[in-house]
């Protein structure tokens, strides 16, 4: 059984155009329109998922509604002699009644229920500047050129850039804290080794000046504590401090 004809109106219909230079992210937009009286599920696929960021990449369109899809192309080295083979596919299906689990919906649906539309990607370079600079990456260019509505693009950037910057700042703080903690632990480890070496030398020097203690099979005396007991106790204390810091 052949697939159904695409119910959504897709703008643009056949191709997504990206205008360089491509040393910065370049965004293009597509619009999905649902002219029917039923809810329609959609999902955006691409042949190069690592090179594009699509928001939103899936969802549900109510009857007589529309949605703007932002497709952001990541920076790359553009070769005009290489034919671009990147493609996008808009896959849709009528939404079932009741609650919808988007994860299992596409897995459990029969292939004959799918409606597919394919768009190819087209790369274009702007006219070369008068100062003969490389059009692929102009040093005087403050913002990457993007296609589509300026208002929608600013909105898209504002929703994501601030969140990304916050996550990066948080990660940098955590890395700095971990490095400081690592340095502190290294210093304490060095001090512990020096202290153990000092105690060993002290025990060795005291052992040469007095005869070796005899092993007593009776109960230990409650008087003075032998030097090796003291060394074992100090070593256990320092080891506990180091393990406690790693656990916390």
pLDDT surpasses 50 at 180: yes
Per-residue model confidence as pLDDT tens digits over 126-148? 777 665 555 556 434 444 444 44
Cα–Cα distance for residue pair 176/180, rounded to 1 Å: 6
Please tell me the least confidently modeled range out of 56-70, 109-123, 130-144, 189-203: 130-144
Mean pLDDT of 49-54: 93
Phi, psi of 94, rounded to the nearest 5 degrees: -70, 135
How many alpha carbons lie under 13 Å from residue 179 in its C-beta half-sphere? 6
Q: Which domains occur in the chain, in start order?
A: 9-125+137-148 (2.60.40.10)
Highest mean pLDDT among 22-31, 95-104, 166-175: 22-31
Give the predicted TM-score (pTM) of the model: 0.52
Residue 91 CA to residue 116 CA, distance in Å, equals 5
pLDDT band for position 201 (50/70/90)?
Answer: confident
Counting residues of the chain whose pLDDT is more than 70, the rounded percentage is 61
User: Quick one: what percent of the chain has pLDDT higher than 90?
Assistant: 33
């Amino acid at each position: 059984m052949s697939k159904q004809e695409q119910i959504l109106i897709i703008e643009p219909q056949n191709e997504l155009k990206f205008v360089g230079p491509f040393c910065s992210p370049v965004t293009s937009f597509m619009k999905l329109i649902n002219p029917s009286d039923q809810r329609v599920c959609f999902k955006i696929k691409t042949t190069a998922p690592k090179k594009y960021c699509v928001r939103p990449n899936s969802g549900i369109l109510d009857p007589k509604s529309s949605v703007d899809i932002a497709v952001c192309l990541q920076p790359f080295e553009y070769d005009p002699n290489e034919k671009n083979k990147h493609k996008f596919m808009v896959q849709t299906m009528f939404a079932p009644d009741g609650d919808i689990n988007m994860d299992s919906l596409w897995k459990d649906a029969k292939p004959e229920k799918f409606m597919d539309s394919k768009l190819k990607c087209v790369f274009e370079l702007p006219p070369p500047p008068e100062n003969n600079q490389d059009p692929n990456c102009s040093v005087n260019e403050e913002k990457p050129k993007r296609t589509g509505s300026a208002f929608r693009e600013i909105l898209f950037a504002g929703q994501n850039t601030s969140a990304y910057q916050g996550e990066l700042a948080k990660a940098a703080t955590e890395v700095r804290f971990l490095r400081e903690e690592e340095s502190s632990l290294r210093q304490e480890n060095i001090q512990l080794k020096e202290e153990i070496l000092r105690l060993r030398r002290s025990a060795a020097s005291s052992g040469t000046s007095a005869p070796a203690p005899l092993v007593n099979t009776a109960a230990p005396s409650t008087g003075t504590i032998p030097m090796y007991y003291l060394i074992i106790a100090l070593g256990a204390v320092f080891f506990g401090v180091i393990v406690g810091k790693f656990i916390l």
